Amino acid sequence: MQKPDGLPAEIDLSRPSAARVYDYFLGGAHNFEIDRQLAEQIASMTPNLAGTMRAGREFLRRAVRVLLHAGVDQFLDIGSGIPTVGNVHEVAQSVNPKARIIYVDIDPVAVAHSRELLAGNDLTGVIQADLRDPGHILAEARALNLLDFDRPLGILLAGVVHFVPDDSRPGDVLATLRAAAAPGSHLVISHSTFEDQPREMLDAQRLSARTDTEITLRSRAEITGFFGDWTLLEPGLVHMPLWRPDAASDVDDKPEQFGAFGGVARYGRSAG
């Protein structure tokens, strides 16, 4: 496959990328034929998967708005993927033009496109790093001098912790990130689950083994543990459409169909 101009030489276009498959499902333009082929194979098994991706993005947007209302004006978005319409900086800066955001992703394509798309936005930064090395993420974030870790921070982990296998100790990873945050900070997590899922959804999610990052499905109890002793905001850890929907009509009679839980927790007693 011929590599498009402008892409880093180390990018391997012989394998699909999880970030690019995700971009495809969200309607983005930063994906390649090999990504689209895998996406279409997955979609043929689970026709509502594009809706699942959109549900995850809508959950993240609602969570960011809640954090802004709580006074949080700086965000560390880990596993951000390729910025598409309605990403965190667009949501946050439409409410607070001074909001600051650092995007973190392991995929060099996601990082390259992020830097290109965010050029000229001095209140955003981009880091290429692996969630499994939270110390490196924190050091790089501090080096950018965009975020003040002595003030409340929004740590966003939307659809990324399930890419960390159990042998990489995701609980320790999350503990390191929580320990770096000041009181009043919030942690946002959405995570794929095997609970309440039909067989075809589980089979489709196992196709992730063909990308560089395989998905580990976890239970509600396991995901809840990632919040540590932080206080979960109402309604707790729930199927994504049930987390503070904008309108009751946004939730159908099968919110579990999207295969993931979402929740938000606050460091310290919750104010709402």
Q: What angle do CA 38, 40, 42 make, to 5 degrees?
A: 70
pLDDT band at 87 (very low <50, low <70, confident <90, very high): confident
Are the C-beta atoms of 86 and 60 separated by less than 8 Å? no
Q: pTM of the predicted model, to two decimals?
A: 0.86
Which tokens is 88 given? 């965190």
> What pLDDT, in 10s, does the model give residues 225-247?
999 999 999 999 999 999 999 98
Strand-pair category, 100-105 with 74-78: parallel
Quick: pLDDT tens for 120-144: 899 999 999 999 999 999 999 999 9
Domains of the chain: residue spans and CATH: 47-267 (3.40.50.150)
- Please say whether the beta carbons of 100 and 124 come within 8 A: yes
- Band (pLDDT 50/70/90 cuts) for residue 2 is very low
